[in-house]
């Protein structure tokens, strides 16, 4: 049912029955490598282009989630997924191979939680029994579209982030065991006039704050309701901005309670500047690392807030500022 202005509360609490996470070689050296199902040794994934490798990430993660759920692919009613490449071609080609009725989503790096919110809505209201949802990114494919090709070796400022090579996918069902999706808050586009593509965290933080604020107000909750609040990929710069802005709005969260996927995925000695980013960032960290910790009993309630910068190469070239968005989903497990 609709709660407040921007939120849904799911009476039937759809289950996240299985997940699949795939990463690249840089992620294999990261902080949460043990939480990936598959890690590849090189960026090519035995393909002849980075874009084809990108597509393969989502295919593998999807196949894993279906296999772990113990159901036939033909029993999955819908695939909801997206990426950062022009017209989402890696996801489109993956959807062709998966041959599941497909709704392509573009929310930039917020796509993972946009998909989870919509998949849960479909399942909660009987629109489907099984929905596959996920997001992916590939460092070498995405960086050359939005910044400079990695081969160029261009110097980046400390506010920049490292695009994750990875895909995270979940199967959402109306029955089963596992963590349950209890609510979602759909964000508004927020544009604070920033235009630097090398400071995505700073640009996206206000959108994250706006969605978190509305989530608490719509559902009449305090930050203490959650064991963990995690943003998608604000990185170190954006996380600090987000914490300061939440405090200004009257919502006090501690550094241990509020974390960021872009800071969880890599080690401190990896050269990622402000942290990780990309549509695959929150998808792999949440569907792998955080859900594993939740199943071990470390968290009972998590609010996941994935953020997205809705720019394009064309809008940047035309000197437009960066419109941003954030979507939030509440996941609970173990009472």
Confidence check: pLDDT of 274 > 90: yes
Task: Give 67's Cβ-side CA count (13 Å radius).
Answer: 10
Answer whether CATH 2.40.37.10 is correct for domain 180-332: no
Answer whether CATH 3.40.50.300 is correct for domain 2-173: no
Confidence check: pLDDT of 60 > 80: yes
Question: Nearest CA to 184 among 1, 307, 306, 7?
Answer: 7
Confidence check: pLDDT of 317 > 90: no
Task: State the pLDDT at residue 294.
Answer: 97
Task: State the pLDDT at residue 139.
Answer: 94
pLDDT range class, residue 281, cuts 50, 70, 90: very high
Domain locations in the chain? 2-173, 180-332
What is the average per-residue pLDDT within 70-74? 95
Are both 2-173 and 180-332 of the same fold? yes
Task: State the pLDDT at residue 148.
Answer: 63
Confidence check: pLDDT of 194 > 90: no
Task: State the pLDDT at residue 75.
Answer: 97
Task: State the pLDDT at residue 255.
Answer: 87
Report the C-alpha gap between 331 and 201 in whole angstroms: 24
pLDDT range class, residue 220, cuts 50, 70, 90: very high
Task: State the pLDDT at residue 196.
Answer: 84
- pLDDT tens digits, one per residue of 293-308: 999 999 999 999 999 9
């Amino acid at each position: 049912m609709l709660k407040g202005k921007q939120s849904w509360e799911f009476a039937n609490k759809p289950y996240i029955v299985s997940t699949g996470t795939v990463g690249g070689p840089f992620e294999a050296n990261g902080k949460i490598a043990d939480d990936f199902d598959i890690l590849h040794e090189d960026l090519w994934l035995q393909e002849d282009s980075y874009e084809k490798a990108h597509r393969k990430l989502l295919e593998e993660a999807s196949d894993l989630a279906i296999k772990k759920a113990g159901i036939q692919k033909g029993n999955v009613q819908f695939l909801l997924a997206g990426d950062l490449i022009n017209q989402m071609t890696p996801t489109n080609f993956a959807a062709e191979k998966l041959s599941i009725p497909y709704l392509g989503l573009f929310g930039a790096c917020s796509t993972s939680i946009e998909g989870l919110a919509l998949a849960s809505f479909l399942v909660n209201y009987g629109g489907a029994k099984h929905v596959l949802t996920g997001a992916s990114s590939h460092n070498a494919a995405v960086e050359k579209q939005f910044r400079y090709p990695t081969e160029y070796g261009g110097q980046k400022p400390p506010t920049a982030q490292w695009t994750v090579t990875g895909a995270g996918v979940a199967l959402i069902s109306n029955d089963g065991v596992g963590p349950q999706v209890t609510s979602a808050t759909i964000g508004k586009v927020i544009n604070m006039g920033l235009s630097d593509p090398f400071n995505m965290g700073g640009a996206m933080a206000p959108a994250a704050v706006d969605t978190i604020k509305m989530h608490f107000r719509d559902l009449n909750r305090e930050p203490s309701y959650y064991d963990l609040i995690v943003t998608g990929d604000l990185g170190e710069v954006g996380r600090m901005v987000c914490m300061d802005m939440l405090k200004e709005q009257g919502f006090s969260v501690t550094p241990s309670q509020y974390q960021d996927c872009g800071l969880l995925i890599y080690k401190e000695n990896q050269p990622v500047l402000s942290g990780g980013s990309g549509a695959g960032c929150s998808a792999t960290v949440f569907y792998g690392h955080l859900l594993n910790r939740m199943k071990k009993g470390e968290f009972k309630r998590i609010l996941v807030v994935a953020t997205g910068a809705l720019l394009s190469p064309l809008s940047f070239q035309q000197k437009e500022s960066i419109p941003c968005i954030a979507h939030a989903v509440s996941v609970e497990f173990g009472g």
